[in-house]
Structure 1
């Protein structure tokens, strides 16, 4: 197996790699931002463990957003049933 250098890759592959890197960066940054500002009682499990999970490419931030956060409480209207 030969290693290809960045400059040897076609433009389309370089663009795809750069786009994937940008998506990963935005996903991780937004997940860490949310985790830092979310109260601990609104996170499933310890916050430090979710901070580590978020570092895992693509899967970590998606897992945090889908399983790590406790959904907001239902708003009460003040009416009795």
Structure 2
């Protein structure tokens, strides 16, 4: 089994990828949680608490809420 590398053993490119993906994850979660707090419960498909918990699942949770969890008014 491959041994885990420490941060200082990673290449500069690998470090940047991790940082950029982390920023994207945090931005998605911020947008999802902010929308969830501001949106009335009647405009959310399902329980707001469940969507808030799901937003902590990397990438998948916030994207799922933004795509499937909101009723978009036309």
TM-score range, shorter chain: over 0.9
TM-score (norm 2): 0.95
- Equivalences, count: 73
Alignment of 1:14 onto 2:44: no
Match of 1:54 in 2: 55
Q: CA RMSD in A?
A: 0.6
Higher fraction of helix: 2
* Aligned-pair CA distance for 1:71: 1.1
When normalised by structure 1's length, the TM-score is 0.87
Q: In structure 1, how many angstroms separate the alpha carbons of the residues matched to 2:22 and 2:29?
A: 11
Q: Please give the residue correspondences for 1:33-72 in structure 2 after superposition, counting only pairs within 5 Å.
A: 33-72=34-73
- Tell me which structure has the larger Cα radius of gyration: 1
Q: How does 1:18-29 map to 2 (within 5 A)?
A: 18-29=19-30
Provide Cα deviations, 1:21-71, integer angstroms capped at 9, x if missing partner: 000000001100000010000000110000011110000011001000001
Mapped partners of 2:4, 2:53: distance in 1: 30
